[in-house]
Structure 1
Amino acid sequence: MKHIAIISHGHQDLLINSKLGGLLGAADCTIWVKDNRPSSELKSYCEQHRALGVHYSDAKPGLGFGENNNFLFAQVEREVGFQTGDIFIVMNPDITCDIATIDAFAEQMKSQGHQLATINLYRDTNYQVPDTNIRHFPGILSIIKMPIVNSFSETYDKQKFGSIESIAVEWASGAFLGFEPEHFRRLAGFDPAYFMYFEDVDICYRSRRDLQQQVYFYPKLKAVHLAQHKNRQLFSQHAKWFFQSFFTFLVRRYLRRAKVRSHHAS
């Protein structure tokens, strides 16, 4: 079973028009919608399609990205439970994906034994403009490079991966991430210290560092991501969240490294 977690922040029109990202009615699939800005239209739409495996909740509005997805993971456990072979997929409301891709994604995770994985996102429906959803971990030098390259971390060149089935990368965007449920439990989900931004960097980093499980990228599986990148508006609330989370990640990463070096020295 594929359990899809979608968080809406006023995305009711987008989700309704896209039929929940193109996944409404998918076999062996449940869709869990957490409405962070409760909408009567979205609630009604989801309840009309309850028989198709759609679940809706407007409880605890105002949570951050990570906490919302942790909430949905707990809801899946409580209401239906995870079975052997199930996959928990975090998916943005601005992603459109076909059912065949979700099925292939789940099958590839199972067959290759991957605990954490993502697909190839594009910014256009013709799959010509790649989304930078796989990256290297940011570091101190990222602060210096950011104004020059207009990015906080180095991206992978996806064109180099076109002919392969999967490859390990450092981290992948939370716009689309698939977890083996037990792996998500062992990670204790997303860290709620990140209200928005970098919770995906953090969970991929902890997966790699603490559990020796890398995130895998499947180049041949594609979906459309109509990202807004609100964090790029310098004086916006999104920019504030972005930089707070950025520095939180850097500080925690380097404190961890310092602790490890100290342990080895002793």
Structure 2
Amino acid sequence: MIYIAIISHGHEEMLIESQLCGLAGNASVHIWVKDNLPSVKLEKFCQQHQVRYTKEKPGMGFGENNNFLFKKISSEYALSVKDLFVVMNPDIRATAEMLQSLDLQMQMDKVSLATVNLYKDQSYQQPDANIRYFPSLLTPFRVLKIRGLTEAIQKPLLTRDSDVDWASGAFLAFRPAHFQELKGFDTDFFMYFEDVDICYRSSCITGRKVRYYPGLKAVHQAAHRNRSLLSPHARWFLTSFLRFLWRRSVIYPFTRGKIRQSL
């Protein structure tokens, strides 16, 4: 079975308009929605479409929210090695057929962590930069060249299924046993870089990189956050970036084979 975790922060209209990322009413997937800004309208919509809805513990960060849903799912189902746990943003548009193909491909390749080819438009013409290289201590000196604190991988160069450094938390698919092995997302990252961190731990501590499947496509209608220097998002972004660099350089080299407790 495929279990989808979606976190809503006032995204009720988006989720209703998109029919829960295009997956409402499909028997091949189980959708779980955690609503951090409780909406009666969204709750009723989920009930009508047999989607699990919870408004418990609002105010948590991205990683902690998804860890919470994973625990909820695990407590109600005996998750098997063949199940799939997918972290998905509310602004993703996907199909059940694509998810089933991803599940099958991961089984064939014996992959525990994967992502798909995200695009910004329905016609699949504008690639979304959802696969990237890990940042390093040299990254701040290359900001002008790479135009950010993380560097995108050029998708046209990857025409075949490939292992990559990290993939955006907008869409990440885990085998449940691997998510448990990693102890989920590190909750010290309230927002930003929790996806970088979990992919880094998977690669460098367990030896399992993210598998990128360019032939499997979905749409990511991302709305960019305000990152002016005085905004909370800018502070969270910079703080998380520095935290990741510190852990990559100082802590993780001595934790191979050990996973930080988060779940």
Provide TM-score, normalisation by structure 2. 0.93
| Partner amino acid, structure 2, of 1:98 | T
Are 1:140 and 2:137 matched, yes or no? yes
Q: Map 1:68-83; keep pairs closer than 5 Å.
A: 68-83=65-80
Count residues with an aligned counterpart: 255
- Picking from 234, 255, 260, the partner of 1:239 is 234
1: CA distance, partners of 2:56 / 2:253:
40
Cα deviation digits, residues 70-125 of structure 1 (max 9, x gap): 00000001122312300000000010011211111111111111000000001111
Measured after TM superposition, the shift of residue 148 of structure 1 is 4.3
Identify the residue that residue 207 of structure 1 maps to in structure 2: 202
1: CA distance, partners of 2:41 / 2:172:
27
1: CA distance, partners of 2:105 / 2:253:
37
Q: Map 1:113-152; keep pairs closer than 5 Å.
A: 113-152=110-149
Q: Which moved more, 1:206-215 or 1:231-240?
A: 231-240
Q: Map 1:41-52; keep pairs closer than 5 Å.
A: 41-50=41-50
Are 1:222 and 2:217 matched, yes or no? yes
| Partner amino acid, structure 1, of 2:5 | A
2: CA distance, partners of 1:96 / 1:121:
9
Task: Flag structure 1 segments of 5+ consecutive residues without an equivalent.
Answer: 261-266
| Partner amino acid, structure 2, of 1:57 | T
Give the root-mean-square deviation of aligned CA atoms. 1.4
Identify the residue that residue 252 of structure 1 maps to in structure 2: 247
SS in 2 for 1:206: helix
- Picking from 98, 103, 106, the partner of 1:106 is 103
2: CA distance, partners of 1:105 / 1:204:
18
1: CA distance, partners of 2:203 / 2:150:
17
Q: Map 1:126-205; keep pairs closer than 5 Å.
A: 126-162=123-159, 164=160, 166-205=161-200
Measured after TM superposition, the shift of residue 140 of structure 1 is 1.7
2: CA distance, partners of 1:79 / 1:229:
35
Task: Kindly indicate whether the alpha-carbon contact (under 8 Å) linking 1:231 and 1:242 is maintained by their aligned counterparts in 2.
Answer: no
Identify the residue that residue 89 of structure 1 maps to in structure 2: 86
| Partner amino acid, structure 2, of 1:39 | S
Cα deviation digits, residues 174-200 of structure 1 (max 9, x gap): 000000000000000000000000000
The 1:8/1:236 distance shift into structure 2, 3 A limit, reads same
Measured after TM superposition, the shift of residue 25 of structure 1 is 2.0
Measured after TM superposition, the shift of residue 35 of structure 1 is 0.4
Cα deviation digits, residues 211-263 of structure 1 (max 9, x gap): 11111000000111011221533321111110110000001111036658xxx
Please identify which structure carries the higher helix content.
1
2: CA distance, partners of 1:147 / 1:237:
23
1: CA distance, partners of 2:48 / 2:101:
28
Task: Flag structure 2 segments of 5+ consecutive residues without an equivalent.
Answer: 256-263
1: CA distance, partners of 2:253 / 2:191:
26
2: CA distance, partners of 1:168 / 1:78:
32
1: CA distance, partners of 2:178 / 2:49:
30
| Partner amino acid, structure 2, of 1:32 | W
SS in 1 for 2:152: coil
Cα deviation digits, residues 119-168 of structure 1 (max 9, x gap): 00011111111111000100122212224432212211111223x2x100
2: CA distance, partners of 1:32 / 1:49:
11
